[in-house]
């Protein structure tokens, strides 16, 4: 059964500007060390950081919390399977919330073009 769904879109340039202006504090406040390492290996890191930012926002919407004391940016992590498929891993407060809501999984999908990144999340009970 679907518990909730969330969608987020962000301008890649917005994330690029934040990285240029506030690096490394910006990345460290929003992303896990694994996410930072992954994105920094890419030719256009801002595009990949933006996609992961959009996932975190979409997940917070599908759970109905937003980014608050119940769920922070670093309480979830996007990892990639060997095939490249993005998968969400809930950690810290995110894992506790996941268990409290009795969720089975949270499906995510990411896409981006030259200017925008978009993510969709569906929480399943």
- Residues with a catalytic annotation lie at 61, 112
Q: What is the distance between the alpha carbons of residues 102 and 97, in angstroms, rounded to a whole number? A: 8
As beta bridge partners, residue 123 has: 4, 106
Question: Which segments of 3-125 does DSSP mark as H helices, in order?
Answer: 12-22, 25-30, 33-40, 45-62, 93-100
Burial class (CB in 10 A: 0-12, 13-18, 19+), 67: middle
């Amino acid at each position: 059964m679907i518990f909730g769904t969330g969608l987020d879109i962000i301008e890649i340039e917005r994330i690029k500007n934040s990285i240029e202006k506030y690096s490394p504090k910006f990345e460290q406040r929003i992303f896990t060390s694994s996410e930072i390492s992954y994105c920094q290996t890419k030719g256009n890191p801002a595009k990949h950081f933006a996609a992961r930012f959009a996932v975190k926002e979409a997940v917070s919407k599908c759970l109905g919390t937003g980014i608050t004391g119940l769920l922070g940016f670093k309480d979830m992590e996007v990892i990639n399977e060997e095939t490249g498929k993005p998968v969400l891993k809930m950690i810290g407060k995110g894992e506790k919330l996941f268990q409290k809501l009795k969720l089975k999984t949270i499906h995510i999908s990411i896409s981006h073009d030259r200017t925008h990144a978009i993510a969709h999340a569906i929480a399943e009970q």
